[in-house]
Amino acid sequence: MIIKILGSGCKKCVTLGDNAKAAAEAAGKDVEIVKVTDFAEIAAYGVMSTPALVVDDRVLSSGKVLSAAEIGQML
Amino acid sequence: MNVFGWMNDQLLRMQWLSDLVTAGVEWVGLDPASRIGGSVQFFVYDVVKIFILLSVLIFLISYVQSYFPPERTRRILSGREGIGANILGALLGTITPFCSCSSIPLFIGFTAAGLPLGVTFSFLISSPLVDMASVILLASIFSWPIALAYVGVGLVVAVIGGTLIGQLRMEGQVADFVRTVPVLDADETMTRNERIGFARDQVMDIVKKVWPYVLIGVGIGAAIHNWVPAETISALLGQDKWWAVPVATVIGIPMYADIFGTLPIAEALVGKGVGLGTVLAFMMAVTALSLPSLIMLKRVVKMPLLVTFTGIVTVGILTIGFVFNAITHLFI
């Protein structure tokens, strides 16, 4: 599973990435975390506010930092 | 003494802080009326004042902003046309991001959803130019009439600029990939605590991002305030010089800073007798147009549209500069 974190590389994006990783590990899934920082690429997902969470090219959230538990429910 | 006047002096202008800093400068053995003492007083007072106001204002504004995520703004604007839509776009621009860098994803999202180009540009022009924090800061440093006039003319530039771009039918001048961007609609509701958390995060983020600009701006302001002779400034930017407004605009356009960094410079320039219109033109040129934001915009629009946008905004800023210089006596 590929998890993409869309954002300019701010602290919130790092936190979101860590939470996503923790959630995937808790679910026993093998994941790769990819950081997308280029705004054109970010916008190409239709995202207008960052950080955003994209799992297997599907946008799960934008504009907020989800907790590991919240991400776990979505996976 | 009337209550409103007291509140304005103490809470907004922070007269108590100025007195406190003056006392502090005297206490370390400097004369506040001397050049060095005066520079130190200006620098410390302005830095502390701007950071206090900045933090409080960004917190309040972000709280309001949490009710208007970009998706909602887009929903409000979609399906509207004509001058009313431009006015609405310009108004919504005042309660959205502070930095022109965050408006590019909004531009893409709005255009992809089929919003008229003119409405999107009204939003895009007003977004960095006018926000509620800058209004209060302008009121703090200058006065309420100047702050309100700034908002008024900022909105007029955004509405007219957007309308003109809409009239020119330049829809084809948007980068091709923008058309293929999917339109996502998020319908998020936040709890009160989430809004408070969001506002607190915004304060941290923005203060972290703007503090160098504020220090540089106040430093330049302090230098102008105490070291540059008024004659030099007025020879270059004086009220009687027809080129004052164009020079201020041309210097301001490539610069990248936000309103918080430009205000102390504006304050010092007005103190040296530079016309209000010249100073407003400088501030608007710095915030509305900058090299980094134009470079980013270049990636989402084609050259003719970029040139049109820059041209219209520049003409708008020049007009405001000349008009304000002509009617300065109404404000100061």
Q: At what angle do helices B259-271 and B35-65 cross, to 10 degrees?
A: 140
The verdict on residue B234 lying in a domain is yes
Q: Which H or E element spans position B26? A: helix B15-27
Torsion of CA B297, B299, B304, B310, to 10 degrees: 20
Q: What average pLDDT does range B288-312 have in this prediction? A: 87
Predicted confidence (pLDDT) per residue in B161-220, tens digit: 999 999 998 888 888 888 778 777 766 677 888 889 888 888 888 888 888 888 898 888
The pair of structure tokens assigned to B78 is 């979609």
CA atoms within 13 A on the CB side of A42: 27
Determine the residue among B74, B102, B179 to mutate to test chain A binding: the one whose Cβ has the most chain A Cβ atoms within 10 Å: B102
In A, which residues are within 8 Å of B299 by CB distance?
40
The verdict on residue B196 lying in a domain is no
Q: B173-187: string of b/e by CB count within 10 Å (b at 16+)?
A: bbbeebeebeebebe
Judge residue A30's burial from the number of C-beta atoms within 10 Å of its C-beta, 0-12 exposed, 13-18 middle, 19 or more buried.
Answer: exposed
The verdict on residue B236 lying in a domain is yes
The verdict on residue B310 lying in a domain is yes
Domain count, chain B: 1
The beta strands (E) that lie in chain A are given as: 2-6, 32-36, 52-55, 58-62
The verdict on residue B93 lying in a domain is yes
The verdict on residue B146 lying in a domain is yes
CA B269, CA B217: separation in Å to the nearest integer? 12
Specify the 3-state DSSP secondary structure of B33: coil
Give the pLDDT confidence score for residue B140 in this predicted structure: 82
Q: What average pLDDT does range A34-53 have in this prediction? A: 82
CB contact under 8 A, B177 and A40: yes
Domain that holds residue B101: 74-182+211-331
The verdict on residue B201 lying in a domain is no
Distance from CA of A48 to the nearest CA of B (A): 5
Average pLDDT, chain B: 84
Instruction: From residue B271, give the alpha-carbon distance in Å to each of B45, B92, B145, B238, B324.
Output: 16, 33, 17, 12, 16
Q: Does the interface predicted TM-score (ipTM) exceed 0.90?
A: no
The verdict on residue B57 lying in a domain is no
